[in-house]
Amino acid sequence: MYPAGRVVIGAMLLILAGRTATHALAADPQAYQVTVVATGDATLDTTLKAASSLVSLQKTQAVGPFALAGRARADEARLRTALESFGYYAGRIDIEVAGHPVSDPRLPDLLGDLAKGSVAPVRITVERGPLFHVGTVTLQLPPGEMLSMTEQVAFGLEAGQPAVASDVLAARGRLLTTLQEEGHAFADVGQPTAYLRPATRTLDIVTTAKLGPRVDIGPIQLVGLVKVDPAYVRRRLLVHPGQLYQPSRIEAARQDLASLGVFSDVGVAAAPSLDQAGTLPLTFDFTEGLRHTVALQGGYSTDLGGSAGVTWTHHNLFGHAEKLDLVALLTGLGGTSQNGLGYDVYADLSKPDYYHRDQTLDLRVEGLKQDLEAYNQTALLVHAIVSRKISASWSISAGVGAEQERIVQQGVSRSYTLAFVPLTASYDSTHLANPLDDPTRGFRISLNATPTYSLGSQSGDGSNGLSGSGGNSFFTILQGSAATYFDLARFGLTKAGRSVLAVRIVVGTVQGATTFDLPPDQRLYAGGSGTVRGFKYQGVGPLFSNGNPVGGTSLDAGSFEFRQRIGKSFGVAAFADAGQVSASSAPLHGKLRIGAGVGARYYTPIGPIRLDVAVPLNKPAGGDSFELYIGLGEAF
């Protein structure tokens, strides 16, 4: 039992395991095995083991009998500190080595008498004793200063609550944060001091605080800008002179500028004192990133074969964080759903803050060639799309586009000119900075509508199973997808982010045209890594008599995947997919195809490298027996 007196609350913090300075006095190291008797509080037990040098060093730092005795005696103080951090100030700690208490002065000699090569049992028993509570709480302020009701609630330390060190220290942090958020830039809250009262089993807490003046943001200086236009950065800033000084708002402004993709580092610092106007100047310090980068990309699946290419990027084309991508990809390097090589070459210009903050203009010109089992396509596409983030989770986009293409299907060649208006609404509550990272919670929902006008002309005899006008048509493609992620840590089954269930559904329909009135590339298909794994690309749905895909006007698919992290860099997955495509305009028609498989993951700083192997559970005639997929990022 402690006598009444003054203790510093910081001493109640957990002391992590470290090395003892005692040196061995015997030549032969003494092996030992530690048993920590459970206290009935699993969290306390974990803390005690972490604080114990006997536990942490038993396998890595063998010492002789004298040093082992010293290590055990030092553990008494470490374990008491850990016990007190949970509010137990009248507990008892007993440590026995080979059946002898550490208080026995003969312990080193007794350990020296053990048989050579024996393992000394170490038993640590901790009795918690009564839980101490907070007694009086005193907050000392300079004359003339007083806390508002909001600040008092933020402090939140009350008489009668358990005297847990982390809770007492957290009260100090909450008060300091609240004071600064209310504009007290120079507020200070001292480390709390506790006075132990054994008779009442309480701790009286005394904390000193100083509010200081409430201040506004003063002049904002931008340092380090070379190629980025300072006027653009100032327009982009989320904080301005004259606003109340708030660290959270200033940090949000820093992160927002860092998200532009043109800076390798963005820092912000407040001046050490107020200026003559009584405001607090800020300085944003920028380090610009590389203006030009080159990236190689590639992927492989047994159905689509290999793809390889290069991307050249200009990250700040006109000084306003415009991004220009020039991409050249070679596709169709083998693959069971490919008949030959293809290419995908495009230029993409992205302009942020287009006439409105968080509004981006995307311009693209693309040349495309594909030689698939379903059709052979050569096309030139252009589009302009404006996207806007309307909240932390919601974004919308609208645009216009045109496509000139020639498609050969079943020996019939048609040329099409298409004009379309893509409309999209997206919801993402996973809030990941990198879209390639593994989601562990939240939803991703996307709704798309693309009204399209097609002007077509046909050449060929039409004797290969094709029907329909092949001429002019107006139709609308409607598609929706939703995915959600469940971290099993919510149910106490695993650690956070280690075991995740992922579920996805995809639904699509085409309104206004039948299957053969549509250009083949505008029809709906399923199969492949994006819908039903285990079936080759476009391999789910109606087929021509020769087994080639027809496509359809409705689609529905679902996926269920379990993802398990292993260690720091590896993971595994198990999944099942199902889907169907039909010529009906309503989903849930057609032949349901089901695939299942397993996968491996290697986690890198830019995202997981994914390898999936899937098999069809109801393979159609002529279908592949399995599919292999290698790529960057999860399937969904």
Long-range contacts of 388-391 (CB under 8 A, 24+ apart): 388/356, 388/358, 388/359, 388/360, 389/358, 389/359, 390/358
* Mean pLDDT in residue range 325-329: 98
pLDDT, tens digit (0-9, with 9 covering 90-100), for 567-604? 999 999 999 999 999 999 888 999 999 999 999 999 99
CB 201 within 8 A of CB 90: yes
Burial 560-572 (b: 16+ CB within 10 A, else e): ebbbebeeeeebe
Query: 10 Å Cβ neighbour count for 478?
Result: 16
Q: What is the pLDDT of residue 464?
A: 52
- pLDDT computed for residue 28 by the predictor: 74
pLDDT value, residue 472: 85
Question: Residue 107: which H helix or E strand, with range?
Answer: helix 107-112
Report in angstroms the alpha-carbon separations of 16 from 13, 46, 79, 608.
9, 11, 10, 33
Residue whose C-alpha is closest to residue 385's, from 365, 399, 369: 399
Residue 24 has pLDDT above 70, yes or no: no
Judge whether residue 9 has pLDDT over 70.
Answer: no
Of 397 and 461, the one with more pLDDT = 397
Which of the 8 DSSP states describes residue 11? G
What tens digit of pLDDT does each residue of 491-508 get? 888 889 999 999 999 999
Nearest to 419 by CA among 469, 339, 499, 474: 474
| Res 470: pLDDT | 57
Tell me the C-alpha distance between 483 and 503, whole Å. 5
pLDDT score recorded for residue 435:
84
Give the rounded percent of residues in the chain with a pLDDT score beyond 70: 94
Residues 53, 18: contact at Cβ < 8 Å? yes
- pLDDT > 50? residue 264: yes
pLDDT(47) > 50: yes
Q: What is the pLDDT of residue 10?
A: 42
CA distance 34 to 52: 10
Q: Dihedral of CA 228/229/230/231: which sign?
A: negative
Task: Give residue-wise pLDDT tens across range 165-201.
Answer: 999 999 999 999 999 999 999 999 999 999 999 999 9
Among 558, 444, 440, 559, smallest CA distance to 500 is for 440
Q: pLDDT tens digit string along 532-553? A: 999 999 999 999 999 999 999 9
pLDDT at 1 over 50: no
What pLDDT does residue 254 have?
Answer: 97
CA 172, CA 281: separation in Å to the nearest integer? Answer: 27
